[in-house]
């Protein structure tokens, strides 16, 4: 994969704001393990090789089990995820691939049964953020692993 352009250099102020949003989201009401699952699932759906690579490495560093990481793509068929994690994954899919009919009441109610209003709002902002990262990295073909050292994921042991 050949990188098309360096958006960090071309739009440094916008890049910085997206990074700042990410830092704020790390302090949100949503637990780290759910952030990891959401990042991986949205990145899979969007075909973002850079983000799948990075977030699998991050999740590994956060202690996530390898089998669960392999099961993210098949979460509906897997019994390795809690109801709260399943709700987050369903919400991620609904917001990443928004239907022409919008988000169904059924999905909203399922997610709402697992999350407070504050948590649901924070989760939604997190999904918005990972989708923004996916879109810029896919658009400009950012190669997987290129920033491992800069983001500290070179310590994952998954090089």
Task: Give the chain's domains with CATH numbers.
Answer: 7-148 (1.20.1290.10)
Model confidence, pTM: 0.96
Going by pLDDT thresholds of 50, 70 and 90, the confidence category of residue 1 is: confident
Going by pLDDT thresholds of 50, 70 and 90, the confidence category of residue 159 is: confident
Q: 13, 105 in Cβ contact below 8 A?
A: no
Give 21-43 pLDDT, tens digit per residue.
999 999 999 999 999 999 999 99
List of residues 6+ apart from 140 with CB closer than 8 A: 3, 4, 5, 6, 7
Give 55-70 pLDDT, tens digit per residue.
999 999 999 999 999 9
Other C-beta atoms within 10 Å of 53: how many?
Answer: 20
| Residue-averaged pLDDT of the chain | 97
């Amino acid at each position: 994969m050949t990188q098309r352009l360096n958006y960090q250099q071309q739009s440094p102020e916008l890049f910085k704001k997206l990074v700042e949003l990410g830092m704020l989201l790390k302090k949100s009401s949503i637990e780290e393990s759910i952030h990891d699952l959401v990042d991986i699932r949205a990145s899979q759906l969007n075909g973002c090789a850079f983000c799948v690579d990075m977030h699998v490495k991050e999740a590994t560093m956060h202690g996530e089990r390898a089998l669960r990481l392999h099961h993210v793509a098949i979460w509906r068929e897997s019994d390795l995820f809690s109801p709260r994690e399943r709700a987050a994954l369903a919400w991620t899919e609904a917001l990443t691939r928004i239907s022409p009919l919008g988000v169904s009441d059924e999905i909203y109610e399922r997610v709402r049964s697992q999350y407070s209003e504050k948590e649901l709002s924070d989760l939604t902002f997190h999904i918005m953020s990972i989708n923004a990262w996916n879109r810029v990295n896919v658009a400009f073909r950012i190669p997987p692993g290129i920033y491992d050292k800069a983001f500290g994921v070179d310590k994952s042991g998954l090089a």
